[in-house]
Chains A and B, each alone.
Chain A
Amino acid sequence: MVKYILKRLGMAVVTVWLVATLTFFLMNMVPGGPFLSEKAVSPKALKALEAKYGLDKPLFEQYLTYMGDAVHGDFGDSLKQRGRTVSGIITSKFPVSARLGGMAVLVAFCIGVPLGCISALNRGKIGDNIIIVIATCGIAVPSFVICTMLMYVFGVRLGWLPTLGLSTWKHYIMPVLALAFYPTAYITRLMRSSMLDVLGQDYMRTAKAKGLNQMVSLFKHALRNAILPIVTYMGPLLAYTVTGSFIVEKIFTIPGLGSEFIGSITNRDYTVIMGTTIFLATLMVFMNVVVDIVYKLVDPRIKLK
């Protein structure tokens, strides 16, 4: 077990390093640079700026310097936002996105799993059909549509909820709902199909035949087995959602990591791009390792290789 975890962690580090390297060279290969878009930068000032951030050195030397610093935990200063470090930007923006994303994942899990179970247990009946139709529609609607619809109905027409920013708990309702919409629909469908699969298993018939209480067989046998695919889905979902959705953050004007990341790409803020990418990749890879380990803990049939 320990050997397995160490091996997976080692592979995770290699993956993150490869992603960082790839991003670094790709980013620098693309024409244009961080200081080109600014107006009225004289060639001399440009030279000075580039010298200050070390951008005038050969690319490979830049890469070595960056990687050396990054290993020591120093991700440099933002090229565009004067006087702010990349780590500072991430630590100030990430909690905002993480809080929203965490709540959204929680909402999706708490609604999706019961709905999927209800739907599977009432297979072919009206309740099942209604849930399936809603879930299928939920997967089909792009998030910016959901955001604007929510805003239009609850913010503008009914005036129940504030539309911009994140100052009170009421501000959280719409962004969280918008973020949770797709995962809820997805989890419902996943839960339904895996529950149907489990309900058809022989051990469920055995449990019924030996006169086990329906509730006990449902919770002890069916649910514990059926929830496994959800566990696999939760890892990447958490990593994605927690890092913030650009669209939701843009529409509700939330200062999160998602909009920061897109902003840094269009601004060519190299250090912020690198810092955020490494952060996202680490989170993603780490989540996958955690999911695999959790999977082993909840499902004894799986052997770790």
Chain B
Amino acid sequence: MKENPNPLSFQARINPDDFLPASNEEKQSLVIMRESVSFWKDGVRRFRKNKVAMVSLVIVIIIMLFSFVVPAFYPYSYEQQIRGSEHLAPMEYSEEEQARMDNGEHVFPHILGTDKHGRDYAIRVMMGSRVSLIVGLVAAAIILIVGSVFGSIAAFFGGWVDIIMMRIVDIIYTIPDILLIVLLSFALKAPLEQLSQAPGFGWIQVLGRNLISIFIVFALLYWGGMARMVRSQILTLKESEYVTAARALGASNARIIKKHLLTNCIGTLIVTTTLQIPSSIFTESFLSFLGIGVAVPMPSLGSLASDAINGFNTFPYLLFIPAVLISLIILSFNLLGDGLRDAFDPKMKN
């Protein structure tokens, strides 16, 4: 463009060449060569590059296979007490089993030995991790739902509603959680027992009453962190420039929520939920240690570990196996969550 001879002149100096139709060459430069990378594709691509996260994902899948698929084919069951084979060391056979093997029969080895009731420890550990994983996953789902609904309502309405709702979160934080857990598990005992007798609620007995009350406890107590996070996310997102820009361009509320608020929230939501799983497993193992976890003979990793503490000096492996497994599960979920955050949190891109 030519230099404007008189800088104070308001007359527009327009170069007529700028308004010629574009040539084919010029049009070529605007053609999109590669498909644009969507939010999810970009995240998945970054997640795949993260070796630590991929390894922990593989570990989680292997543990899930062992706890959900393998028990179906396993020759022993978790409650089956084999007489005469109490307290076997790993890969050891009882006299009776030895005799059967001498007769040419095939006896499946007790890979991890047996416990004091003669129950195969390997299947108990597998069932235990199944229970722990179920607790972790269901509790995380409950917390996700309750927390995000509560948090988004508080953020959406704002003002007094927000203040009161957040105060409630503070108070729930302040009550010692162990008190509520113990009281609730006492309080829920009778109603749940009654409910499980009612038609249509037979599944309560399958799942175990204690497991249900653990879920209720999680639903009542541990959503505070999630609610706070969702609230602060929505509060900042609501005020962000691109939402204002979208509104200025005439986007509908539905489109803003779907395209901007949700996509920006969901990364953090997934991550927080993933990180919630290990902490729920942690809490469940603590409850089992106190004796208010899942009901016998159903094992969980926490109850296996706490049962093993008594005979610890003689049979240390009974403690080490579930303890290492709890730590492994929690560790891999933590690393998986960290990896997801690095991949999906828009703020972590750099």
Contact = CB atoms under 8 A, between A and B. Distances in A.
Interface of A: 15-16, 18-19, 22-23, 26-27, 29-32, 136-137, 139-142, 144-145, 148-149, 152, 156, 246-247, 251, 261-262, 265-266, 273, 276-277, 280-281, 284-285
Given A262-B290, A280-B176, A136 B327 contact: no
Contacts, number: 98
Contact of B182 (A29, A266, A285): A266
Interface string B289-305: 11000000000001001
Nearest to A240: B176
B176 A140 contact: no
B312 A144 contact: no
7 contacts: A26-B183, A137-B327, A139-B334, A142-B285, A145-B326, A251-B309, A262-B178
B174 A15 contact: yes
A141 B327 contact: yes
B313 A144 contact: no
Contact of B187 (A31, A140, A251): A31
A30 B183 CA distance: 7
Contacts of B328: 140
B207 interface: no
Nearest to B170: A15
Interface of B: 167, 170-171, 174-176, 178-180, 182-183, 186-187, 189-190, 278, 282, 285-286, 289-290, 302, 305-306, 309, 312-313, 316, 319, 323, 326-328, 330-331, 334-335
Given A27-B183, A140-B331, A18 B176 contact: no
Given A23-B175, A136-B335, A273-B179, 10 more contacts: A15-B167, A31-B187, A31-B189, A141-B330, A142-B305, A142-B327, A145-B305, A246-B178, A277-B176, A281-B174
B180 A140 contact: no
A262 B286 CA distance: 13
Contacts of B171: 15, 18-19, 22
A23 B186 CA distance: 14
Contacts of B174: 15-16, 19, 281, 284-285
A144 B291 CA distance: 13
A145 B190 contact: no
Scoring A16, A23, A30, A246 by chain B CB atoms within 10 A of each residue's CB, the highest score goes to A30
